[in-house]
Amino acid sequence: MSEYRTKLLIIGSGPAGYTAGIYAVRSGLSPLIVSGYQVGGQLTTTTDVENFPAFPEPINGTELMERMQKQCQNLGVEMVNDQIIEADFSKNPFLLKSEQHTYVAESVIISTGASAKKAGILGEEKFWGFGVSACATCDGFFYRGKDVAVVGGGNAAIVEALHLTHFAKSVTLIHRRDSLRAEKVMIERVLNNPKITVEWDSVVEEIYGEEQPRSVTGIKLRNVKTKQAKDIKLDGVFIAIGHQPNTDLFKAQLALDEQGYILTQNNTKTSVAGVFAAGDVTNPKYKQAVIAASMGCEAALDAETYLNNK
């Protein structure tokens, strides 16, 4: 087991982690990024990104993240391909561990992201990124004039469904119960929107489609009360049953909200001095790459101030 010692350890290699690395190295902090299993983060699971500034043409998500990684490398950010499994923030320097290494760090930026919860539907995994998405803000634009479905019945599903009506020809909201769990005003908006049809008491049993090019063409739906099944032809399925922040290993170390997101104050400060958090891991609402990147910048500047005052 080898040991790394650093002034600033950045956990995660999504837009938040890489941006933190870029700012920290330019402040002379010699940061070390531990990339995690998903090098480049969530954007590597998508195809076209059309809303990251400075790219007038759509850019592939993996390419965008490779560019950020390259920028880090060119500036001299050290990177280790590793996954943190243990953290001890009870004393400074902080001690973190993976299966192979220990990391001793004077300050830490946590940018481990949040994962969209999957519904476990047959075909969901196969078409993920090819007609199945968990982000209407990101992918809704690609469904202009098309038919889509949203799976879920809470606030998130309602927001996704309403957002999709700006592009799609029709939106089918599929909920396993007979009422929606959201603010009354939001529910009324859904029920009064002519583009939205709600399939109550229903579950999606299968998402299916074409192999070449891989794309969704329909779903098989089952009513849980009548047990009747039917097919709906459509072009996209949005899974909106919530996100899981990747914070299990920090549960005993940091203040988290009831959903497990890291609580921050004065921008990126966590409940432990010297530990900062940025990106989706702190953000139950705005899960977007540009926001994660801007928080990564803030966290690096906050870490610099902390280390200067130390």
Ligand X SMILES: Cc1cc2nc3c(=O)[nH]c(=O)nc-3n(C[C@H](O)[C@H](O)[C@H](O)COP(=O)(O)OP(=O)(O)OC[C@H]3O[C@@H](n4cnc5c(N)ncnc54)[C@H](O)[C@@H]3O)c2cc1C
Rg (CA), the chain: 21
Restricted to residues 72-91, the positions that interact with ligand X (CB under 6 A) are 83-84
Q: Which of 6, 8, 10, 12 binds ligand X (CB under 6 A)?
A: 12
CA torsion 170-175-222-131 (nearest 10°) is 50
Task: Pinpoint the alpha helices (H) of 148-206.
Answer: 155-164, 184-192
The footprint of ligand X on residues 205-244 (CB under 6 A) is none
Give yes or no for a contact between 254 and 262, defined as CB atoms under 8 angstroms apart.
yes
Which residues does residue 128 pair with via DSSP β-bridges, in sequence order?
Answer: 132
Angle at 58 between CA 119 and CA 77, to 5 degrees: 85
Q: Toward ligand X, which CB reaches closer, 69 or 172?
A: 69
What is the C-alpha separation between 173 and 168, in angstroms, rounded?
13
Least CB distance to ligand X at residue 69 (A) = 10
Cβ-count burial of 204 within 10 angstroms (0-12 exposed, 13-18 middle, 19+ buried)? buried
Q: Which is nearer to ligand X, 35 or 202 (CB)?
A: 35
Rounded distance between C-alpha atoms, residue 213 and residue 200, angstroms: 32
Which stretch in 2-10, 163-171, 266-274, 281-289 sits in contact with ligand X by CB under 6 A? 281-289
State the alpha helices, DSSP H only, in 12-116. 15-26, 61-75
Site residues for ligand X, window 20-49 (CB under 6 A)? 34-38, 41-43, 45-46, 49
Q: Which one of 109-117, 164-172, 181-189, 252-260 is the stretch in contact with ligand X (CB under 6 A)?
A: 109-117
> Smallest distance from the beta carbon of 182 to ligand X, in angstroms?
22
Q: Which is nearer to ligand X, 42 or 202 (CB)?
A: 42
3-state SS, one letter per residue, for 269-300 = ECCCCCEEECHHHHCCCCCCHHHHHHHHHHHH
- Contact pick of 7, 14, 198, 243 for ligand X (by CB under 6 A): 14
289 near ligand X (CB under 6 A) = yes
Residue 11 within binding range of ligand X, rule CB under 6 A: yes
Residue 138 appears among annotated catalytic residues: yes
Instruction: Spot the catalytic one: 72, 82, 138, 280.
Output: 138
Is residue 202 close enough to count as binding ligand X by CB under 6 A? no
72 is catalytic: no
Compute the distance between CA of residue 267 and CA of residue 283 in angstroms, rounded to an integer: 11
Ranges within 116-155 binding ligand X (CB under 6 A): 116, 129, 133-135, 138
Residues that bind ligand X (CB under 6 A): 11-17, 34-38, 41-43, 45-46, 49, 51, 83-84, 111-113, 116, 129, 133-135, 138, 246, 249, 279-281, 287-290, 292
Residues with active-site annotation: 135, 138-139
